[in-house]
A and B are shown apart, each in its own frame.
Chain A
Amino acid sequence: MTSSAPAAAVAVDDAPDAPVLRVEGLTKRFPARRGLRQTLVHPFSGTTVTVVDNVSFSAAAGEFVGLLGPNGAGKTTLLKMLSTLILPDAGFASIDGWDVVRDAGVVRELVSPCLAMERSLYYRLTARQNLDVFADLQDLARSERESRIDEVLRAVSLRETGAKLVGQFSSGMLQRLLIARALLTRPRLLLLDEPTRSLDPISAREFRLFLRDELATQRGCAVILATHNAEEAFELCDRVAILDRGRMLASGVAARLARDFMGVRYRLTTTHPDHPALRELIAHGIGVSSEAIVPAGSSADESTDEWHDVVLRMEPEHDPAGVLSMLAGSGMRIAAFAPIRPSLADLIEGVVNRGSVS
């Protein structure tokens, strides 16, 4: 059995007091694929690969928790364990106190997963017929079925195309229909696996607003969202958990994680990209983007007519206002000085690299 030692995740903020979802030490190992020869020679000595390793987190009512991480980090497996589709090997997960293994039947009434399964739709049926079938499978009351189908079709902007065959849908429309299918019930916990990956920017924004306004705010539904989208991670999610090779490396508010793991970056727009004051900043431990540093011996204090962007990376102990004051006082012409929101890739890379080192 191959298993990496679980690293302690960095928690940047506190877990909720009364969580809808509670995950503690959840672990999943899958049998590793073996060649035919190995299988024949050693039929009973199979190895395993740990895909989710001792993961713990929680989510409160109305809270959005983002799962971030590179491909193969274990996000989908984690969602499938919470959907009762995969049995964990160790650890515990509960929804409103119901165990996902022992009380799987009850859990399925509380959870609504929307995993990347476009082909699971009935392509020869209309969108409305698809939802109609699943409304019955989800035991939706007959009295509210039609209005609920209308409601979810409207929520994902498919109301006008409800009578169209699903086989004629674009990939974005298929994804919206999957989301509509997941919203049919009124879940306590919604599990979304990259829900906006095929949506156009406007639909994605509308969908995020719908999630925030209707599901979280009005109904208090907790949402677990596996995403590669920066807007979702930074603006929609209350907290994010960063996974790599099954291990949860960090959790907390995305912006705070970015600050703690990567420092804070500022964009300085100036006509003096090679001003000596910038080198002075380096001496104080502030990172300056390399293209702005002038090699020794070159003309240093020369102003140009063009505006240049210089990136300054500061640690939490640095005072941005003080830095700006110092630069302005040194005679630099400055047009703008503003914090840069880190990209999701930078955040994940930063956390993963830190995790690999530790």
Chain B
Amino acid sequence: MTARAVAALTRASWYQAKSYRLSLVMQVFGLMFTVIPIYFIANALQPTMAGSISAESREYFSFMLVGSIALMFVTVGVSSLQGTIGTGISNGYFESLLMTRTPVAALLVGLTSYPLLLASIRASVMVAAGWILGAPIAWSQVVPALLIILLLFAVHWGIGLVGSGLIMAFRTAGPLTSIVTTISIFFGGVYYPVSAIPSWLKNIADATPLAYGLRALRRVLLLGDSLSAVGSDLAILAAMGVFTLIVGAAAFSVALGYAKKAGTLSTY
């Protein structure tokens, strides 16, 4: 039943998305116009960056490309569920889902599955475009790279659960999404390696999940390293995932109970 419910919610989101044809096409193929500027900027900065990024990539274009892709999954992980639940509360959709026989966990997965699927398609288009433009992709390592992306997504989905709980209870997640995104951009190594961060800010980078995930992802997808070679980064990322998912599930559960008690599930 859980898989059916997840598939049904994904299907519904897909039907909705494809009814806006132009928007859907632009969401995917418009990425070409994102990749090309990255290509030119990265090529211009290649001589400066070459030395500092060598542990993760041979050239700066693919370094930035993978960084942008990973950041996209971080953003989707943190914000997609919050957005769906926020809208669902205001139009009664979320209540109508909660009245069904589907367990809440399956509903949450189902509400996230389409954004995750779309992000995966967008990432594939970006990788393909990057490859066409000369980015060295280790195609044999695509499956391990997908596992790392999934892990990275799970860590941030846990944070998204906390945000969704805040929206259910207080109608706002405050600055949670922007804090996570900003920290990920500045301390996760999206546009420059973590090693370039000043030592007095290193502690923040050490607590940023994207720093571990992105380093592992680049090494696997761009340098062809095996999963065992990036094992220490993955272990830390997995531990962070367990932590955020447990905290997220607990926060969501408490918030749902609070919203049912305060009657705020349907009042925005």
Contacts and interface: CB of A to CB of B under 8 A. Distances in A.
Interface string B8-49: 110110011001100000000000000000000000000000
Interface stretch (B140-148, B169-177, B228-236, B257-265): B257-265
A122 B263 contact: no
Given A87-B257, A87-B260, 13 more contacts: A77-B263, A80-B263, A85-B99, A86-B265, A117-B92, A120-B91, A122-B15, A124-B16, A133-B11, A137-B5, A139-B1, A139-B5, A185-B101
B252 to A, nearest CB: 16
A164 interface: no
A108 B100 contact: yes
Interface of A: 28, 30-31, 77, 80, 83-87, 89, 105, 108-109, 111, 113, 115, 117, 119-120, 122, 124-125, 129, 132-134, 136-139, 165, 181, 185
B101 A137 contact: yes
Nearest to A126: B15
B131 interface: no
Contact of B101 (A86, A89, A108, A117): A108
A136 B3 CA distance: 10
B7 interface: yes
Given A30-B262, A77-B263, A136 B5 contact: yes
B202 interface: no
A258 to B, nearest CB: 32
A192 to B, nearest CB: 13
Contacts of B265: 85-86
Contacts of B19: 124-125, 165
Interface in B65-103: 88, 91-93, 95-103
Interface string B96-124: 11111111000000000000000000000
Given A86-B263, A125-B16, A120 B96 contact: yes
Nearest to A83: B99
Secondary structure call for the B interface: helix
A48 to B, nearest CB: 10
B15 A85 contact: no
Contacts of A84: 98-99, 260
A308 B179 CA distance: 77
A110 to B, nearest CB: 10
Contacts of B4: 136, 139
B253 interface: no
7 contacts: A85-B98, A119-B92, A120-B92, A125-B16, A129-B15, A136-B8, A137-B100
Contacts of A165: 19
Contacts of A115: 92, 95
- 5 smallest A-B Cβ distances: which pairs? A136-B8, A117-B92, A119-B91, A120-B96, A120-B92
B95 A133 contact: no
A111 B11 CA distance: 25
Interface string B148-190: 0000000000000000000000000000000000000000000
Nearest to B261: A87
B241 to A, nearest CB: 27
Contacts of A31: 262
A122 B8 CA distance: 12
Contacts of A119: 91-93
A86 B9 CA distance: 24
Given A85-B265, A139-B4, A122 B16 contact: yes
